[in-house]
Structure formats: structure tokens, C-alpha cells
Amino acid sequence: MKKYLYGIIGLVLWIGLLTACKEREAEVRKPVSDPTKPDVVVIGSEIEGMYLARAAADEGLAVLVIDPREQPGGQLIQGEMLFLDEPSAEGGKSLLQGRVKQLFTAYKKGDIRKPAQFQQYYRTLTDGIPIVSGASITNVEIATDAAASKKSIRSVSYRTKDGQQKTITARYWVENTDFAALTSRLGLKRIPGIETVFPSSREKDYMAASLMMKFRGVDWDKFRKEVGKLGKKELEEKYGAETTVTDTFTWGFGNVGARYSPSSKELFLRGLNTINQGDGEVLINALLVYGVNPSDDESVRKAVENGKRETERILPHLRSELPGWENAELNGFPNYLYIRDYDRYETEYVLQATDLMSGSTYWDDVSIAGYPLDLQGTLEHTWGERKGVPDKYGMPLRSFIPKGYSNVFVAGKNVGASAVAYGSARIQPNTSLAGEVIGIMLARTANERGLSEVTEKEMKELHRYIEKKYDIRISGVKGKNKIAKLSEEEKRQFNEGKLTLP
């Protein structure tokens, strides 16, 4: 009888707690009452900036998203770039923290693998936050504070997809597109790109984009077992160095890509990064598309169509090359591309490759990051290069503040990093954590000057608050210096991409 009563009491308490949580969630996630006067306006809906939006909203700020794309979600949702790379320190210790860690935990368990599951997760970030899709920025009004030698955005005007002209003001603005829709209008210097590392005939060059390839009818168990039977020498000769097939992923298979002849020089099949989505469905990140301009809708449309046709040609190649793929079929196509690289503009601090490899941390860090300096190929340097493998390093707030601006921040692939450092800094979890931390800080900064003018003392308080409430540890982390023995000249060459570390 007592056990029964205790069970009833426990159930009542649990329902009460759940109801309270939902009420609190509804209170926190209330939509903007006046969309013309939000606290924070995020331009673009890439997931990294949506972590910022979610955190700011949960901390009580009114957030509005103005998205130039017709549908929200960018590379993750529309581009279906669902092969997630996890940052780790030397020795394999994961560096995941915050909300993005929850995504990876479910991903690795197999609970989030298919597009609908990712969409459901993405909605937890956007719930209660208005998104205006299909909008185009028509004007950015910039003010100058002569006394502080700082600029700020006073207002942004945009046209909705039905032709209405609107103007909004806000305290903070965030660049969160994959084509610098906002920061390209601020009169900033472009950070030199991949053309400074890989010789190019173009004045400006970019790492290739990708169209994710989707297949079904794959016998993954046979695939894993047959590849696993091969000895090291035979495996490398047939499929390429570092080729691996686990229950969940593949990497390597560079020889499979090398044996494929693409239909044009704008397309290239590299090694196969494959995710087992279950039920015979797989997704591959391997089809590179060169020369894409993400700020040009026609360039994107053409690249997607070319990628679709090339995927149809690649299918019989995979059937003949890979065991377990004999009955593979196409499983549809993404709506969009995975854009790795485009114009980035100077921030208050631009991360260098030596910062990453020396394990540098900063008083104003907003993320603890890691990942190899992985530079993907260009039209004239198809295979790309891995320049080095850092331990872990800090990403300072200053690398997310456009140079000379007081109320603008950047998210995701817009991070201030040199061409070589960008190979690691660009990885989604690194900047997703930064986005979440910045979103919290935007709401918690008490001074009237705003977050861009935060002091070292104030930053320590913010770090303490974030660790206590969110279990995100940013300060007090030490990274290993892996370039201590390099000369100053070697460090210079490394930063310029002229030196590769083993």
C-alpha cells in the first residue's frame, strides 16, 4: 500500500514539475511582441547562429531572424550536411559542450540520423523565434561614434518575398548567412582566402562546396564485413590510406574517388565520408562542386542541378566498387549545398594557424575548440591538404566582432580566421558553442556599453555564470603547444600555408 501511495505521490510531483518546466519554457520562448523592435536580429538561419538566437531568447531577449533563403536551416536542414564532425583534443577527448553536445549524443546513439529527425531537433532551436524567410537586405544604416571611434548599425531595411519594404532597429545584429549578406555591406576588409594557400588564377578563390549524395538499398553489414576482411596492404591498395568502415561511419576510400572520371572539371569525387542512417539508407559527403557563388541564386541552382546529374553517374560506380552496394538506389536529393567557404571580413582579432597549434586561449574566449586544419580542394588544387592537428585552443569573442563595430557579431563560418586557421575554426561544433555562449552573454552583459566593450573582470563573471548554470567551461583550459620548436620564420610560413606539420 505504501509503495502504491509513494508511486502516486511521485507521479503527481513529476507531472507538477513537467508542467512547471513547460510553463517556464513557454514564458521564456514568447515570440517578439513587436517585430520592428527586437533586442537581437539574426541575419540568416544557419544552425550555428540559431544556437545564439536560442540562448539569447532563453535568457529573456527578444530575437528576430531575417533569412535571405526561402527555407530555414541552411547547410544542415536544406543542404542535408548530416555527416557531423566532432572536435576532440589530443588523445581523443571530446570537446563538445552545451546544446551542440546534446545533438551529437543523440547522433552517435542513432536517435538523430535522418532528415526528419534533424528537422525536429532544429525546431527546438527556433521554437518561439520569428523567422522571416525569403527576405533581401536593401539598406544598412551605419552610425559613427566619433568619441569611441566605433561604428554601429542603426537600422536595417529589407524587402519581404511578397514585396513589402520594412525597416527594423535593434540593439545587436548577427551575421549568420553563408554569403556574408550583412557584413559585406559594412565596409570591412576581406580576410585573404584560400587563394593565398593554393595557387589560383583567380583573384579570390574558395574551398569547394558539396552536394550531399543520398542512397538507399545498401547492405551496410556486408559492406563493413567485406572491407574489414582485407589486410592493411590490400585495403590501402584497393581503397586508399586510412580507409575505415564502422557500424556507423566510413572515411578514406580515396582510391574510389580517384578511379571516377567526373563529367566536368567543376565536379570532383574525393574520399567517401559516409553515414549509416539505418534501414539501408546512407548519406555521403564526397561530391565537390567548384566555382559556386552562394550570394548568387542562379549559381547555387546550377550547382545543385549539376550535382544531381553527377550523383546519378556516380551511383553505378559505387555499385561496382563497394561490396554491399550492388542494389543501391538514389534516395532523393537535398534542396541546397554544403557551402564551406566564402568571403569573410576582418574581426577585432583574426585567428592564425599558430594560435591554434600553440593551444592559445584568451581572456575573452567564447569557445574551446579543436579539429585538424583541414583545407578542402579548389578547382586548381583538387585534393586539398591537412596542414596540422592542434590539441585544443580558445576562440575569443573578438574573433566574432567585426572590426570597428560595437553592436555587430558574426556566427558560424563568418568567424575571423586566416585561410589556414579557418580549416579548423569553421567546424560546426566549434562555432556552435561560440554562438550559444555569445547569446547568453548578450543577455547577461550588465554594462551600458554592450558586449563588445566587456572588460576582463566582467568576462570572468560571465564565464562563472555560464559554467554554473549551463555546465559550459570556457576559462581555465590549457591547450598543448605543438609548435614550440618552430622558428619564427617557420611559424610565418605555417601561417601562410607554406609549411605542413606532420
pLDDT tens per residue across span 44-55: 999 999 999 999
Backbone torsions φ then ψ of 56, nearest 5 degrees: -65, -40
pLDDT surpassing 70 at residue 3: no
CA 146 to chain centre: 35
Which residues partner with 172 through β-bridges?
Answer: 40
Query: How far apart are alpha carbons 243 and 253 in whole angstroms?
Result: 5
Return the pLDDT at 281: 98
Query: How far apart are alpha carbons 313 and 320 in whole angstroms?
Result: 12
pLDDT tens-place string over residues 421-443: 999 999 999 999 999 999 999 99
pLDDT confidence tier of residue 29, bands split at 50, 70 and 90: very low
**DSSP E strand stretches across 146-280:** 150-159, 165-168, 172-175, 209-210, 213-216, 244-245, 249-251, 267-278
Domain definitions of the chain by residue range? 30-194+342-502, 209-330
Closest CA to 190 of 292, 43, 46, 342: 342
Report percent pLDDT > 90 for the chain: 90
Query: How far apart are alpha carbons 427 and 208 in whole angstroms?
Result: 15
Parallel, antiparallel or unpaired: strands 365-369 and 408-410: unpaired
pLDDT tens-place string over residues 52-79: 999 999 999 999 999 999 999 999 999 9
**In contact, 150 and 406? CB cutoff 8 Å:** yes
Neighbour count for residue 142 (Cβ, 10 Å) = 15
pLDDT confidence tier of residue 146, bands split at 50, 70 and 90: confident
Return the pLDDT at 149: 85
The residue with greater pLDDT, 34 or 14, is 34
Amino acid 39 reads D
Return the pLDDT at 5: 41
Q: What does the mean pLDDT of the chain come to?
A: 93
Report percent pLDDT > 70 for the chain: 92
Return the pLDDT at 141: 98
Neighbour count for residue 448 (Cβ, 10 Å) = 6
CA 347 to chain centre: 18
Tell me the H-state helices in 59-147: 74-77, 99-109, 115-126
- Sheet with strand 136-145: strands edge to edge: 136-145, 150-159, 165-168
Return the pLDDT at 34: 55
Closest CA to 275 of 242, 310, 251: 251
Query: How far apart are alpha carbons 306 and 357 in whole angstroms?
Result: 38
Query: How far apart are alpha carbons 154 and 173 in whole angstroms?
Result: 10
CA 308 to chain centre: 23
Return the pLDDT at 19: 43
**In contact, 240 and 344? CB cutoff 8 Å:** no
Class of the CATH domain delimited by 30-194+342-502 = alpha beta
Return the pLDDT at 145: 81
Return the pLDDT at 224: 98
Return the pLDDT at 448: 81
Cell matching residue 396: 575569443
Query: How far apart are alpha carbons 466 and 451 in whole angstroms?
Result: 15
**Residue keyed to cell 552545451:** 98
**Residue keyed to cell 546513439:** 109
Query: How far apart are alpha carbons 142 and 48 in whole angstroms?
Result: 25
**Residue keyed to cell 527576405:** 135
Mean pLDDT over 79-89 rounds to 97
| DSSP 3-state of 255 | helix
Report long-range pairs for 142-147 (Cβ below 8 Å, ≥24 apart). 142/186, 142/187, 145/406
